[in-house]
Chain A
Amino acid sequence: MNNTVTLAHGAGGKQTSELIDRVFKAHFDNPYLTADDAAVLDAPKGKIAMTTDGFIVSPAFFPGGNIGKLSICGTVNDLACMGAQPLYLSCAFVIEEGFPMDKLEEIAAAMAKTAAEAGVRIVSGDTKVAGKGQVDGVFITTTGVGQILDGVQTSGADARPGDAIIVTGDVGRHGCTILLARDEFGIEADVTSDCAPLWGTVNAVLNTTKQVHVIRDATRGGVGTVLYEIAGQSNVGVKLDSAAIPVAPEVKGVCGMLGLEPLYLACEGRLVIVAPREEAEKIVKTLRQCPYSGNAAIIGEITDEQPGRVVMTTEIGAQTLLPQPGGELLPRIC
C-alpha cells in the first residue's frame, strides 16, 4: 500500500476498501461496524440526544492531542452536556491527496482510544479524498447519539439566581496550545491542550446529584462566551470572582504577552456547570476525584442583577464588565 493517500483511495474501488480495512476497520472494529450501507443499532430506551460537529483544526497534531482525538471529544462532550451517555458515533473524513498514511493511522488510533475511553462505538463512516490544495490535510465530521439519563434535565436557559458556577479545570489551554503550535509568535511555552472526553466526568457528577441546571462545554469562545450565552438564555446576571478562576501560569504568561483574556481562549476538556449553591461543594468534591477535573473550582454565582451581563470582581476588589469578544477570534482551533 502507498505511503500517502491518493485520489484512488477515495474512488470507491479496490484501494478504497484497502484504506478502510487497513486504517479504519482495523482501529474502529466493533459488531455494529459492517460493510453494509448503514449501521443497524439497538434503540435505547427513553430520550436520545444527537449532535454533529466538523473539525478542521490547524495544525492537525498539537501537544496533548490531534484532530482525531478532538473529533471524538467534541461530539462526546456535546452529548455529555445534555446528560446523555454517548452510544454511537459516525465519522466522515475528507482527506487531502498526498496526506501521509502513517499520520492517518495515528489519527484513527487516537479516535479508537478516545472512543473506547468514552464508551462509545464508531458504527459508520465515510471517506472522501480531495485534490491537493482543496482541503488542508484532513477534515473530520463526527455525529453522535446518546441516551439521556433518567431524571436529568439541563439547558442553558435553566440557570437561576443563587446558583453557583463551577469550572471543571484551568481555562484556555486548548486555544493557547494551538496559538503556540502555529509558531507565528516566536513564543515557546510548555502548554498542552486540555482535550479530553468528559462523559465519565459528567456521569460522576450526575451520580452525585441530579440537581444540575446547566452543563456546557467551553469550546470555541471559551468559558467567557459560554457564560454570556447562559446569561442571555436564562436572562440572569453572572458574577465572577477573578481570583477563583483557575488559569495555568504558562497560559497566563502567554495571554499577558499577547494581550489575550484566558476566559476567551478555547477549551476542549472543560465544562461550565451551574447548580444550586447547596449542591456545589459536593459537585466540586466529586470533580476533583475525576481524571480531567482535579482543579475544579467554584468561580462565581448567578444573580438577578444586570441580566445578560457578566461582571467580574477584579484582584483589587473592583467590579468590571467582562468585555464581550470582538469579531476576530483565532480561526481553525477545532
Chain B
Amino acid sequence: MATKRTAKEILTAYNGPKLRIMEVCGTHTHEIFRQGVRKLLPENIELISGPGCPVCVTPVGFIDEAIYLALEKNVTVCTFGDLVRVPGTQSSLAGARAQGAKVQVVYSPLDAVTYAKEHPEQQVVFLSVGFETTTPASCLAVEQAKEQGLENFSLLTANKTMPSAYHALKDSVDVYLYPGHVNAITGTALVESLVEEGISGVVTGFTAKELMTALAVAVVKAQEGKPFFVNCYPRVVTHEGSPEAQKLVTRFMEPCDTEWRGLGVIPQSGMRLREEFSAFDARKKFDIPPITGRANPACRCGEVLQGKCKSTDCPLFGTVCTPLHPVGACMVSNEGACSAYYQYGM
C-alpha cells in the first residue's frame, strides 16, 4: 500500500530528470519568493517566472504612446501605479509628469471613469493593460462611460490573453502552473484541450499550501510520462469560468496581434475595442502615429520572461537596475521576477 506523503516530501525527494515548471502568473512569482518555495526544491526542479505580470510584458512602445498622449495631446493619463515607473524609450510616465504631464494613479478603470466625469474639461485616457482578469473591468468602464454619455474618456489598450503565450513558450517549459485567477474567468476548457497538443499544466491557487500542492501534483504527474491537466484550485476555478465576464469582453473587444515585451508580436494574443466603440479607442481618437519603442539594449528582461536566463545573469541587475531605479519592467512591479530576486535576496 502506498504511504501518504506531504507535498513538501514529494518535492524534496524528487530525483528524476530535470523538470522545468513555469509559474505564469506574477502573483504566483511573488508568493513563491515570499514563501521561499524555491529554497525547498531540489536542483532538478527549475521554476521559471513566466510572462504573467501585466506590467512586465507591456512593451516600451506602449509607454511611449502614453507619454505622447500626455505631453503632445495634453491628455490626462489614468493608470495603475506600477506603470508610472516603467521606462519607455526616452523616459517614464514619472519623468513625463515631472515635465508637466498629467498622470493620475487609479486603482480601477472605473475610478478613471469617475475622474473623467468630475473633470469634463480634460480628456482622460485609461491605460488598459492586463490579462483576462482585468480586461472585463476595462470593458465595464467603457460601458459606463457610454451610458453616461462621457465624451472625454477612452482606453489605450494593451490587453492580452494568456493561451497564445502558452504556445509561444512551450519549448522552454515542461509544466505550466496556470494562473488561478485567469482561469476563474475563462474556465478550463481551453487549457484542458492543450493536453492534446502535448502541453501540460496545473491550475494553481495562491496560498503557500495551494502552491506546494500544485507543484507536487505537477511532479507526480510529470513522472507518468504523458501530457496532463489537473485543476488544483477547484474551490474557485470551474470548467465554464464566468460567462458574464466572457460575454462582456466579447461585446466590447476582439482579438488582435499584440507585442509582448521580450517575446515580440504574438498573433491574436491581444484584445482591442471593436470598431463600433472606436470613440473610446484612444489610438483612433487621438490619431496616435505608429511608435516603435526601443528598450535599453543591455536589459535582459525579455530573456528572463522566457526563462532563458535568470535575473541575476543580467549585467544591470542590482547595480544599474534596482526597484528604485528600474531599467526593465521586471524590476518595476512587485510581481516581476527581477524585483522578487532583488527583494528576497536570492
Residues of chain A at the chain B interface (Cβ within 8 Å): 184-186, 259, 309, 314-321, 323-324, 326-327
Contacts and interface: CB of A to CB of B under 8 A. Distances in A.
A321 B108 contact: no
A259 B334 contact: yes
B28 interface: no
B216 to A, nearest CB: 12
A185 B208 CA distance: 26
Given A320-B35, A320-B36, A326-B323, A314 B208 contact: yes
Contacts of B208: 314-316
Given A259-B30, A314-B208, A319 B36 contact: yes
B8 A316 contact: yes
Contacts of B308: none
A326 B34 contact: no
Contacts of B34: 314, 320
Contacts of B209: 316
Given A184-B107, A318-B36, 7 more contacts: A186-B108, A316-B40, A316-B208, A317-B8, A317-B40, A321-B343, A323-B344
B107 A320 contact: no
Interface of B: 8, 27, 30, 33-37, 39-40, 107-108, 208-209, 212, 323-324, 334, 343-345
Contact of B36 (A184, A316, A326): A316
26 contacts: A186-B108, A259-B27, A259-B30, A309-B345, A314-B35, A314-B36, A314-B208, A315-B35, A315-B208, A316-B8, A316-B37, A316-B40, A316-B209, A318-B35, A318-B36, A318-B37, A319-B36, A319-B39, A320-B34, A320-B36, A320-B39, A323-B344, A324-B343, A326-B323, A326-B324, A327-B324
A318 B38 CA distance: 9
A323 B8 contact: no
Residues of A contacting B: mostly: loop
Contacts of B35: 314-316, 318, 320
Nearest to A184: B107
Which residue, of B30, B36, B209, B344, has the highest number of chain A Cβ atoms within 10 A? Answer: B36
A314 B288 CA distance: 48
Contacts of A323: 343-345
A320 B341 CA distance: 11
B249 to A, nearest CB: 22
Contacts of A324: 343
Given A259-B30, A321-B344, A327-B324, A316 B212 contact: yes
A324 B323 CA distance: 11
Residues of B contacting A: mostly: helix
Contacts of A314: 34-36, 208
A320 B324 contact: no
A323 B107 CA distance: 24
Nearest to A313: B36
A263 B33 CA distance: 17
Contacts of A321: 343-345
Nearest to B27: A259
Which residue, of B33, B34, B40, B324, has the highest number of chain A Cβ atoms within 10 A? Answer: B34
A316 B27 CA distance: 18
B344 A320 contact: yes
A319 B36 CA distance: 6
A185 to B, nearest CB: 6
Contacts of B27: 259
A245 to B, nearest CB: 14
A35 to B, nearest CB: 48
Contacts of A318: 35-37, 39-40
Contacts of B107: 184-186
B33 A320 contact: yes
Nearest to B81: A328
B7 to A, nearest CB: 9
Contacts of A327: 324
A330 to B, nearest CB: 12
A57 B237 CA distance: 41
A321 B34 CA distance: 8
A184 B40 CA distance: 38
Which residue, of B8, B30, B208, has the highest number of chain A Cβ atoms within 10 A? Answer: B208
A186 to B, nearest CB: 7
B329 to A, nearest CB: 15
Nearest to B342: A323
Nearest to A325: B343
Contacts of B30: 259
A323 B39 CA distance: 16
Contacts of B36: 314, 316, 318-320
A271 B239 CA distance: 49
Contacts of B37: 316, 318
A311 to B, nearest CB: 9
A225 to B, nearest CB: 14
A259 B29 CA distance: 13
Nearest to A306: B345
A185 B108 CA distance: 9
Contacts of A316: 8, 35-37, 40, 208-209, 212
A324 B342 CA distance: 10
Nearest to A324: B343
Which residue, of B37, B209, B324, B343, has the highest number of chain A Cβ atoms within 10 A? Answer: B343
